[in-house]
Structure 1
Amino acid sequence: MKQKSVAKNGFYKAILNIFNLLVPLIIGPYITGLLSKDLYASYNKIFAEFSIFLVIGAFGIYNYGLREISRVRDNPEKRDKLFTSLFLTGIISNIVMVIIYVAYAFLRSESKIELFLYFTMIIQIVAQVFYIEFVNEANEDYVFITKKTIIVRTLYLISILVFVRKPEDILPYSIVVSMTVLLNNIISYFYIKRTVRFNFKGVKIKHHFIPLFVAFLIANVEILYTQLDKVMLGNFVSDISVTEYTLPTTLVGMIAAVPLALISVVIPRLSSYIGSNDKEQYKELLNKTINNYMLIVIPMSIGMSALAIEIMEFYSKGKYTYIYPVLIAAGFARIIYGFQSIVINLVMYLNSMEKPLTLFLLVFGILNAIFNTTLLILGKLTPVSALVTTALSVLLFTTFSYFYTKAKVHVEYKLLTKRIIGYLAVSLTFFPIATYIRGLGLSMWPTIFIVMAICATIYVVYLVVSKDTFVLEAYDIVKRKIKK
């Protein structure tokens, strides 16, 4: 297969992530402002519980499939056999989860509306059987993924506006969300099946079980850690506290998905370099990705923290403005999650370090549970404290894993460089700037635009003055385009 441009892949992946961000930003304020606070709290609590069943049913097939299909994508026979094995595994794991989930729903439901909410989410488990987008990603077919997602998300936006019209329309909202997931996956399934066929000769399900289990841990480490926060908050604090935790963390996660394209699009290429034992190319692309990724993640995350009051006022139409401290914590935590994504996805997982990765995830996951339990006993478990202790667990995991991989992989890579420290130092100036502008007494939108304009200008000037390699490369690309 002819290699596609990493820059082009990143461009389409970024467009995809930006669109996935814009739709929730458009519809989010509408939903949080419209739906009943109690019903929305029930939905978030139930979805937090449901997500555990969903990620177990997924069983790491996506990440594992992306890595393995990337390595055999030029061999149709091996590709088809691998695809068949993974698809059958997905059917089995999701059927098991549906059975367990139905029993759980009957036991947990306290009202008819809650039972109906639990049941509407079963659609997403069924849809997950057809979630084989990893084949498109392995083939670096980001053009199709982007176009398809834009169409589906636009239909989602229209459906929400048509079917969710009243504060009590929590069931229509849940159905639209689940049906959107199903439609997205079904379209990709039929698109992929035009070229990829089932091959049942030599199907190996047991052979993939252990690496799939590790991939499951990797793919869901952040979800599982934060999911523990949500479940404990919902069961021991209040339903509302789950919403107070979910809204800011989801918002930051949506924003952070844009630069995450820089990581996801290089996975097939880095996997290819490892497969051909080209350590020099691997090292060069890895370090370049780290710096470029953090160049965007750091100012974006700190910028959201600096404007936390205004962002929550806009996103919730004033209903949840008071939870801005959670957004501040979520912004800083996202930087830690950024480093974690690099170590897990680009180093440990691609270099097949499954055993130590599984052990580290288990150890620091238990540590996170201990932190949360301690907070609960002390009566200090809140959305902010749960988020902070989870971020601390992730930081300890990332630090430990970084030094371990440096010793084992024998590839020189750095998470903290002078460039990255510079990004952090300049970004921290956003706080005093936001505080000063807020003190002028302007309304929400002028405050947001002025702060963003000043902070963006300062950051870009810093990149230019420091002759950042990202800026120099961008300048060279533009220069070549002009000459053409």
Structure 2
Amino acid sequence: MGLLPKKQLVLRRKDERSTKKTNVVTNIFYQISYELFAMLLPLFTAPFISRILGADMLGVYSYSRTLATYFGLFGMLGVKNYGNREISRHRDDKDLNLWFWSIYAVQFFASLAMLVLYIGYTIFFVVDNQVIAAVQSILIVDSMLDISWFLFGMEQFKKTTTCSTIVKLLTTTAVFLLVREPGDLLEYCLIMGGGVFINQFMLWYYARQAIGKPVFNLKRSLAHGKPMLILFIPVIAVSLYTMMDKLMLGAMSTKAQLGFYEAAEKIILCASSVITAFGTVMMPRMTKLFSDGNVSESQRYMKLSVEAVMASSFAISLGILSVSRLFAPIFWGKDFASCAYILSALALSIPFSGFANVIRMQYLIPNGMDRAYIISVILGAVSNLIANSLLISIYGALGAALGTVIAEGIVCIAQCFAVRKRIALQKYLNCIVPFGVAGLIMAAAVRVIDHVAIVTIPWLLIEIFVGSIVYCSLSLLYLYYTRNELLMAGIQKFSKR
């Protein structure tokens, strides 16, 4: 009888580990499914919008939206990562609602201040397209209401992805019904901003029971101010080599070049969002593991994440680069044929951003290594500004794309340098080399076809099919040879059926 409690304890721990594994896998499934949906949706909308609005109007939209988003960023401060991390640490505490409201109070009042400033800027400084600029203020209200960080910290990914999926379907339908000519840019801005606005209300509805009634504690809110500002520094730095590219293009080049860059960047962001989904899901889980001192389990998750993220990164990066010559004119129209070079250049940044995302979201932030994170992104921002200043005036949108690649590479190297003594980087680097080799072989195979291919949809589909078969075959052989845990689990589950 004395052995029974010990046996029950062992079984209970096994059940807990099984539940945790299932939750992580389920969350990754929901997040990646949503990101894939979000990635595929522009395949229907982008060609329509680029043809209806044209490069110039698309440039006006991009410039005004980017500027409004900047004000929204200052309103959010560093709450995306800080709130996610703190909620994941304290989600089992009795005063969880106090944690939420004390953090959200900082976000609300900061966003309110940014909204007032933006309205003043629109009234006194905007001359051209003033109405468009005013409508984009909806984005700042969206930032004021955004509590996705709370649901992420609670690992409630099903709710966030469900809301976002419903809203994206509604906005896509509205775009096709209401945007019919270049003069409909205002309608397009209202639809895109209003969709996010609806999404925020849906998230509040889902979170209402967990957050409870408003509880304000000025002292606790002020205590959150400093760490939020610390994590806000990298947010601004990162924005310098994402949104600042478009602002610099708008100032140093033509609106058409900005439109080309906006179109190409949208594809890259949609594709790479599948990769960042891993970091979004794993950050709260890794924070909890490190908080509980469970180092072995955190290392296991990190190795699996590196393999999954880098396998996806090389497939997307070299796949886009291989088919860009056919993809650009087919997808956007012949006027956007030059986007092929911009798209190819931006695609090279994906492996760098993918590996850095794993290091950042699964080690630096969960372990509170904010200083190393800040330094890395500041280095990236500075290098991007320098590269943009030198290259945009000569190469236009292509120069901005090359600046982004340089910035992402420097950020990745800096973050790897920061953790070199804490984790076995060589082990992770060794396991991603085969994916790079598989990607290069895939690119070579597609390029052989590309030499004889003409710009038609059937030829594009042939290139995609051949590239997918080559890359997937080589990658699966490597994963099977190394007995990858996820692949083996999938094979075992499939064989039981």
Q: Summarize deviations over 1:317-366 as a string: whole Å, max 9, x none.
A: 33312221000001111221112222222221111112233233334422
Query: How much does 1:275 deviate?
Result: 0.3
1:438 to 450, 453, 459: 450
Query: What number of residue pairs does the alignment pair up?
Result: 477
Residue type of the alignment partner of 2:71: F
| AA aligned opposite 1:430 | M
Partner of residue 477, structure 1 = 490
CA distance in 1, matches of 2:132, 2:435: 44
Query: Are the structure 2 counterparts of residues 20 and 441 from structure 1 closer, same or farther at C-alpha, using a change threshold of 3 Å?
Result: closer
Residues 1:419 and 2:431 are matched in the alignment: yes
Aligned residue in 2 for 1:390: 404
Residues 348 and 357 in structure 1, CA contact (< 8 A), matched pair in contact too: yes
SS in 2 for 1:35: helix
What is the aligned-residue identity percentage?
19
> For the Cα contact (< 8 Å) 1:70–1:268, is it kept in 2?
yes
Contact 1:105/1:115 (CA < 8 Å) preserved in 2?
yes
Within a 5 Å distance, the mapping from 1:270-285 to structure 2 comes to 270-285=286-301
Q: Deviations over 1:134-193 (max 9, x none)?
A: 222222222222222221111111111121112210000000001001000111012101
Residue 209 of structure 2, aligned match among 179, 188, 194: 194
After superposing the two structures, state which structure 1 stretch, 326-335 or 449-458, moved more. 449-458
| 1:127 equivalent among 132, 136, 142 | 142
Q: CA RMSD in A?
A: 2.2
Which residue of 49, 62, 70 corresponds with 1:52?
70
The aligned counterpart of 1:289 is 305
- Give a deviation string over 1:97-124, Cα, whole Å, max 9, x none: 112212222344233xx11111111111
1:148 matched to which residue of 2? 163
Q: TM-score, normalised by structure 2?
A: 0.90
**Structure 2 runs not aligned, ≥5 long:** 1-15
The farther-off stretch of 183-192 and 461-470 is 461-470
Change (3 A) 1:251 1:482: same
SS at match of 2:145: coil
Residues 103-182 of structure 1: pairs in structure 2 closer than 5 A = 103-111=120-128, 114-182=129-197
The DSSP-based 3-state class of the residue aligned with 1:351 is: coil
Structure 1, unpaired ranges of 5+: none
Letter in 1 for 2:308: N
Residues 169-318 of structure 1: pairs in structure 2 closer than 5 A: 169-197=184-212, 198-201=214-217, 203-219=219-235, 221-318=237-334
1:469 & 1:143 partners in 2: Cα distance?
32
Distance 1:304 1:363, change over 3 A: closer
CA contact (8 A) 2:346 2:404 kept: no
Q: TM-score, normalised by structure 1?
A: 0.92
* Residue of 61, 65, 80 corresponding to 1:43: 61
- In 1, the alpha carbon distance for the partners of 2:468 and 2:156 equals 32
Query: For 1:375 and 1:236, how far apart are their aligned partners in 2?
Result: 10
Change (3 A) 1:201 1:435: closer
Structure 2 vs 1, CA of residues 428 and 380 (structure 1 numbering), >3 Å: closer, same or farther? same
Q: Is the 8 A contact 1:237 1:381 kept in 2?
A: no
More helix, by proportion: 2
Q: In structure 1, what is the Cα distance between the partners aligned to 2:477 and 2:188?
A: 49
Q: What are the within-5 Å matches in structure 2 for residues 428-467 of structure 1?
A: 428-466=440-478, 467=480
> How many angstroms apart in 1 are the aligned matches of 2:185 and 2:298?
48
For the pair 1:345 / 2:357, whether they are aligned, the reply is no
Which whole-Å deviations, capped at 9, do the CAs of 1:370-417 have from their partners, x for residues lacking one? 3333346xx42522222212321331232122122223xx23344853
Kindly report structure 1 stretches of 4+ aligned residues shifted beyond 4 Å: 468-472
